[in-house]
Amino acid sequence: MNNAQLNELKDKYVAKGAASPATAFADRAKNAELWDADGNRFIDFAGGIGVLNIGHCHPKVVQAVKDQLDKVMHTCQTVMPYEGYVKVAEKLAEITPVRGEAKVMLANSGAEALENAVKIARAATGRNNVICFDGGYHGRTFMTMAMNGKVAPYASDFGTMPGCVFRAGYPVAEHGISEEEAVRRLKMVLKTDANPKDTAAIVLEPVLGEGGFYPAPQSFLEKIREICDEHGILMIVDEVQSGFGRTGKMFAIEHSGVKPDLMTMAKSMAAGMPISAVVGTAEHMDASGGNSLGGTYSGSPVSCAATLAVMEVFEEEDILAKSQALGDKLAKRFAQWASDFDAVVHPRNLGSMAAFELNGKDGQPAPDLAAALCKRAREQGLILLSCGMFGNTIRFLMPVTIEDKVLEEGLDIVEQNLKALVGSEATATA
């Protein structure tokens, strides 16, 4: 079927809230390129929203999935366990920087991982409250919607959210929130809303994802660790988007040296197959009773096979070094754009988790400009995403395995459209 035929079916049968606004349908893909149902080629700077750090259809992962399909597709691991689940748990326990000896549970999505991390924290502490941060994004289930630090579009239409969730400020200088102010707000929350003796966990992304790709300062993460230790609160780090090599290390928290009690991960851990994990200190992970965690499809044999293959690819192809090198290339190009175009501000990256913002002539966030850039790029064969509290952040989540030629082609499209959209505001000719 072609794009037009598929769009007719989408409009007729797919719920509006679940339907993509895009009109091109993916037909095949390889590394950082994909082709739609009409045969048009796209360069992918979105990576399935950070899922494809090792690219589309990596041959090693594809083969591992095919091999597993010939053996066992599903049993439900609580009914009949299988090797893949325990091997993935072993690997994650070895590489995840949590305190002490680690244990693991697997689920299907980032939101499920966060839901279960909260369950584990409540069981381990006997407390209910959860503190999160402005701009944070943790999922679309009811608990994670309550935890999100951004209402639209995730929680706008769904009524009352679960209680016992409180929010503090995330340190973003561009939003007028210094590190000192963020710490002050957190301490105030513990005094005014979330009594420490009733607080199970503080949950944060070490790099805001949907909130705008802002890395938390090391000293702030250290302060969170200190506050958690002072009050017997568990520190939960959400690495769903920042994990599995996106920042140049396996997990973003490793840049700080801080070790959380629990960590969540998903997205790129299986290169497109659905899987997620909670990894945490063994005594916390074992706090709830038998059969209290997991679900029918949690840690499926096929997804586990993909995850194990991904881990081999990381070692064999030195993915972490590639991620850092990609980040360096992006930082260099961003700096040039910030110099050439008044509209391009606050370029930033941690490894290849990279972004810049677009402001108008008045110096205020320009979400319409960001939307126009993404639209024009799509029309020219580049998939580009915006994000951020004000919708003016352009984020880059291309596979870290992207070929240099394809990378430069995509960056040239961004630059050409910046010239077309804000060229008159340029301080120099790009």
Question: pLDDT tens for residues 403-413?
Answer: 999 999 999 99
Nearest to 117 by CA among 240, 274, 299, 220: 240
Burial class, 39, CB count within 10 angstroms (exposed 0-12 / middle 13-18 / buried 19+): exposed
**Measured at the alpha carbon of residue 22, what is the angle toward residues 152 and 334, in degrees to the nearest 5?**
75
pLDDT of residue 292: 94
Beta bridge partners of 271: 273
Q: Helix 319-340 and helix 301-316: axis angle, to 10°? A: 80
Low-confidence ranges of the chain (pLDDT < 70): 424-430
Q: What is the DSSP letter of 263?
A: E
Total-model pTM: 0.95
**Strand 199-204 to 129-133 pairing:** parallel
Tell me how many helices (H) and strands (E) the chain has. Answer: 13, 15
Write out the CATH class of domain 3-54+318-425: alpha beta
* Residue the block writes with tokens 């402005």: 134
Q: Rounded to whole angstroms, how far apart are CA atoms 185 and 154?
A: 24
For CA atoms 74, 75, 81, 83, give the dihedral sign. negative
Looking at CATH, the fold of the domain delimited by 62-316 is given as Aspartate Aminotransferase; domain 2 (3.40.640)
pLDDT of residue 160: 83
> Which residue stretches of 269-318 are H helix?
282-285, 301-316
Listed by start position, the domains of the chain span 3-54+318-425, 62-316
Q: Rounded to whole angstroms, how far apart are CA atoms 331 and 86?
A: 39
Under 8 Å between Cβ of 17 and 140: no
pLDDT of residue 428: 35
Nearest to 277 by CA among 55, 52, 102: 102
* Residue the block writes with tokens 């194990």: 308
Which residues make Cβ contacts (< 8 Å) with residue 16, sequence separation at least 6? none
pLDDT of residue 426: 43
Nearest to 326 by CA among 81, 31, 10: 31
3-54+318-425 and 62-316 agree in CATH topology: no
pLDDT of residue 57: 98
